[in-house]
């Protein structure tokens, strides 16, 4: 099992088939999936089929976040483009574990993997403009708002505006050097 980070209180590792039950629980929470701009309520069979379909897909990387050996979320690199060297990052921390620094650490680990392992040039994300805690974390890690997209996603019975945010490898590297 590949582990990206193994701190005393948090571990980030590659998603395995045995994790799908936990992912299924997340995917069936409407309030959580609204933040990911995705439809909730997929079956475990559907999720397993998607896992099987994408297990060897080089355009996605999925990692499980654990705190004290308890599943607390997932961080994913999506739409990995090896020509333009860009990818999207997304993260979900389950309720009860948010506000404790896990999202920031996991997101930083995912961005670091994108830049230093996959040699991406840019990492980007979409976020609901009303999700202030997430926007705060993204800005803290160096992401910049590159645009506001009006009524980009439909979730929870209405359309939501979103920010398109990104960070370049050069910005990330410069920021990391300044921190050390």
Enumerate the active-site residues: 138
Number of helices (H), then strands (E), belonging to the chain: the values are 6, 8
Residue length of the chain: 180
β partners of residue 76: 62, 90
Residue by residue, DSSP assigns 103-146 as: HHHHHHHHHHHHHHTS--SEEEEEEETT-HHHHHHHHHTT-EEE
Burial 146-162 (b: 16+ CB within 10 A, else e): eeeeeebbebeeeebeb
């Amino acid at each position: 099992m590949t582990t990206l980070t193994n701190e005393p209180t948090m571990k980030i590792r590659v998603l395995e088939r045995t994790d799908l039950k936990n992912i299924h629980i997340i995917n069936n929470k409407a309030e959580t999936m609204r933040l990911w701009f995705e439809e909730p309520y997929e079956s475990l069979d559907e999720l397993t089929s998607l896992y099987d379909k994408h297990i060897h897909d080089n355009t996605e990387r999925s990692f499980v976040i654990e705190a004290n050996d308890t599943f607390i979320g997932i961080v994913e690199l999506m739409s990995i483009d090896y020509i333009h060297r860009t990818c999207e990052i997304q993260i979900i921390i389950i309720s009860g574990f948010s506000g404790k620094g896990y999202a920031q650490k996991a997101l930083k680990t995912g961005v670091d993997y994108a830049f230093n392992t996959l040699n991406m040039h840019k990492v980007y994300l979409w976020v609901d403009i009303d999700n202030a805690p997430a926007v705060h974390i993204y800005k803290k890690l160096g992401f910049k708002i590159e645009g506001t997209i009006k009524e980009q996603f439909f979730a929870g019975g209405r359309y939501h505006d979103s920010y398109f945010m990104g960070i370049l490898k050069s910005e990330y590297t410069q920021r990391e050097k300044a921190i050390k």
